[in-house]
């Protein structure tokens, strides 16, 4: 956990700009699609963010987990609901998920201390 | 797609019995925990089944996908909602998910023809 | 190896139609993107198909391997070149790749016997 | 579970011959290395086979699981010991491992009925 | 390798407390099960720790590798035996395992310098 | 991104020496094989490095990605070609690949600033 959420977001934004600026049509379309698929449809935005979060957990990607934890909190998902998402991810994905769960927990603490979603 | 849902369920039941009958405490507790974690809590059963489904999709396990598609349908998840779960799984997990999506689609057809969830 | 390449292609086409016909915009755009990304660009089509093949090997997806083996052969990739793609996939992905390599080999035999790419 | 252990072994042998006969030096050396690494060293052969089995379980490769279950039984690993290997694989890898555990159990039954390792 | 084993252990303990304190029954039972499954049974504790280590290697989880390397050393597994566990993990999981092997090696050095297991 | 390419290379070299010095024959032979498989054969070195890069991307290993980005650039692969390799990796592996793509992009920037491959 070497960087804060602010640093995470800054690196994310800078690199996204570099990637999109490189002008590869497939890559740019994929990024657009990635944004689109979490917009509310027949399923609400909070459900979709929880789907993104549990997928990130079982695939064990810390950056993706951080991103979806933030988005879940913004969409109104409660801490108790997040724990149930974590529970499904943990049972499906096994103990190998635990280190990522620890870092997800640290991110939730960080969000609470920032006063944004506590 | 060599076996029907009925055959899938029969093999599943027979092997579960063999596994649980082998008397390993850790294994048996894990199976109990696996059942428990999809019960309604602060999140409803249908949301939890969708979480299980998207996890199975991105981890690319056909049997798990079949199981959660059936459970989702039983919990009242509509075909249009399932397509949105598939969309998230596809974007997160990539084109490597597509063959599993095809088999999931075949399972949905099979369920519809069985008159259970069509 | 329960089905032939002809059966594989038929199931693939039928399910793709069902999926695309379900009308989920994200899913349909993803399928379009998937087709696009193997078209010749600054890299030729045969190089891109080899990239798709080695990715499928290390992610261990038989259907994807079958698809890209066929496409590689159509794009003029020789058997000796395919063996070098397999070698990279095997070293990167480890012995867990071997069962998929066996099935890839059986597909190459099947293609040769069909007189298409032998 | 469409083929018997005998059929599994026959396909395995035939494809291995095709692969090794293709004359790619890296591939052939990898196959030799794969055989070597399970030979008794400071760890005994049964321990190494159990290491191969649990790795195959958490990476979810049915053919590799079948192979190492057979090898474990030949090396004298008991059913109770195999259940403990399965327990570690299940806890580490999660419920996504369960379908593979079912097929491993079916293979153990098949071996018992063949009178080889019952 | 930004943190020491002492820092790793501190973060691990603090986050485990937060997770267990959140009061999700499934999560808490999973953690209990995770502890249980490495206790000596018909297989000894050192064998079980080696099973946990090789699983962590092929699934490529640095924190899990660090944890099981420490536990293996405490259970009396020698460096030569650890190298044989690494060899199986490397052959099964492929070259993608190598960066994790490097960090495992650095952890073994760190343990030796701490005078605990050198 | 806590360390520079120079630091990455130093850690890599030191740990490789420790690993190879430990004297495990399987491990040492694997390392030799890993070096061999990227040498030019019927496929050129640049194609093989691109195969290694896309495999590393879809398996999501930052160190392997860094290594193959450097090697690709040394073998004359252009930035535009690298973007097409990234595009295939992104479509095959999904959005879970994106954080690794960001770090790959940062490595390409670092290489350009070092004046080696800009």
Q: How confident is the model at residue D115 (pLDDT cuts 50, 70, 90)?
A: confident
The set of residues, in sequence order, having a beta carbon less than 8 Å from that of C85 and lying 6+ positions away, is C50, C53, C54, C57, C72, C77, F43, F51
Please say whether the beta carbons of F56 and F101 come within 8 A.
Answer: no
Q: How confident is the model at residue A118 (pLDDT cuts 50, 70, 90)?
A: very low
Q: What is the structure's pLDDT at C111? A: 93
What are the tens digits of pLDDT across the range D15-50? 999 999 999 999 999 999 999 999 999 999 999 999
Q: What is the mean pLDDT of the segment spanning B63-88?
A: 97
Rounded Cα gap, residues E107 and E5, in angstroms: 8
Neighbour subunits, B (≥3 Cβ pairs < 8 A):
A, C, D, E, F
Rounded Cα gap, residues A26 and A24, in angstroms: 6
- What average pLDDT does chain D have? 95
What are the tens digits of pLDDT across the range B15-62? 999 999 999 999 999 999 999 999 999 999 999 999 999 999 999 999
Number of H helices, E strands in chain B: 6, 0
The set of residues, in sequence order, having a beta carbon less than 8 Å from that of E115 and lying 6+ positions away, is none
Q: What is the structure's pLDDT at D19? A: 98
Q: What is the structure's pLDDT at F2? A: 63
Q: What is the structure's pLDDT at B44? A: 98
Of the candidates B1, B90, B106, the beta carbon closest to that of C27 is on B90
Q: What is the structure's pLDDT at E2? A: 63
Q: What is the structure's pLDDT at C3? A: 87
Name chain B contacts of C16, Cβ cutoff 8 Å. Answer: 102
Binning chain B into helix, strand and coil, the percentages to the nearest 5 are: 75, 0, 25
Residue B79 has pLDDT above 60, yes or no: yes
Percent of chain F with pLDDT over 70: 96
Residue C1 has pLDDT above 90, yes or no: no
Q: How far is C52 from chain A (nearest CA, A)?
A: 15
Instruction: Concatenate the DSSP letters of all residues of D2-26 into one string.
Output: -S-HHHHHHHHHHHHHHHHHT--HH
Rounded Cα gap, residues C100 and C84, in angstroms: 15
Rounded Cα gap, residues D85 and B24, in angstroms: 10
Rounded Cα gap, residues D91 and D58, in angstroms: 9
Q: What is the structure's pLDDT at B3? A: 87
Residue in chain A closest to C34 (alpha carbons) equals A26
Q: What is the structure's pLDDT at D5? A: 95
In degrees rounded to 5, what are phi and psi of residue F22?
-75, -15
Residue D118 has pLDDT above 60, yes or no: no
Please count the residues of chain C: 118
Q: Touching check for F29 and chain D: CB below 8 Å? A: yes
Rounded Cα gap, residues D80 and D69, in angstroms: 13
What are the tens digits of pLDDT across the range D83-99? 999 999 999 999 999 99
Rounded Cα gap, residues A55 and C8, in angstroms: 28
What are the tens digits of pLDDT across the range C86-107? 999 999 999 999 999 999 999 9
Q: How confident is the model at residue C25 (pLDDT cuts 50, 70, 90)?
A: very high
Q: Touching check for A60 and chain B: CB below 8 Å? A: no
Please say whether the beta carbons of A50 and A77 come within 8 A.
Answer: yes
Rounded Cα gap, residues D57 and D35, in angstroms: 19
Name chain C contacts of D16, Cβ cutoff 8 Å. Answer: 102
Q: What is the structure's pLDDT at F116? A: 58
What are the tens digits of pLDDT across the range A34-83? 999 999 999 999 999 999 999 999 999 999 999 999 999 999 999 999 99
Q: What is the structure's pLDDT at C95? A: 98
Rounded Cα gap, residues C20 and A38, in angstroms: 19
Rounded Cα gap, residues E87 and E108, in angstroms: 16
Rg of chain F on CA atoms, in Å: 15
Give me the residues of chain E with pLDDT under 70, please.
Answer: 1-2, 116-118
Q: Touching check for F105 and chain C: CB below 8 Å? A: no
Q: Touching check for A59 and chain E: CB below 8 Å? A: no
Q: Touching check for B25 and chain E: CB below 8 Å? A: yes
Q: What is the structure's pLDDT at D3? A: 87
Specify the pTM: 0.96
Phi/psi-derived region of residue C21, left when phi > 0, alpha when psi is between -120 and 50, beta in every other case: alpha
Please say whether the beta carbons of C112 and C10 come within 8 A.
Answer: no
Residue C45 has pLDDT above 90, yes or no: yes
What are the tens digits of pLDDT across the range A71-115? 999 999 999 999 999 999 999 999 999 999 999 999 999 999 887
Q: Touching check for B11 and chain E: CB below 8 Å? A: no
Please count the residues of chain B: 118
The set of residues, in sequence order, having a beta carbon less than 8 Å from that of E7 and lying 6+ positions away, is none
Closest of E46, E111, E104 to residue D43, by C-alpha: E46
Phi/psi-derived region of residue A30, left when phi > 0, alpha when psi is between -120 and 50, beta in every other case: alpha
Rounded Cα gap, residues F90 and C34, in angstroms: 10
ipTM for the assembly: 0.95
Residue B115 has pLDDT above 80, yes or no: no
């Amino acid at each position: 956990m070497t960087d804060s959420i602010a640093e995470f977001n800054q690196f994310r934004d800078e690199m996204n700009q570099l990637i999109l600026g490189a002008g590869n049509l497939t890559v740019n379309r994929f990024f657009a699609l990635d944004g689109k698929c979490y917009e509310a449809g027949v399923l609400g935005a909070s459900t979709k963010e929880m789907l993104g979060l549990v997928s990130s957990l079982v695939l064990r990607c810390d950056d993706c987990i951080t991103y979806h934890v933030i988005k879940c909190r913004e969409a109104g998902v409660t801490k108790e609901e997040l724990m149930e998402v974590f529970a499904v991810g943990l049972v499906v994905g096994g103990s190998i998920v635990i280190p990522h769960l620890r870092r997800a927990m640290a991110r939730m603490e960080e969000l609470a201390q920032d006063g944004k979603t506590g």
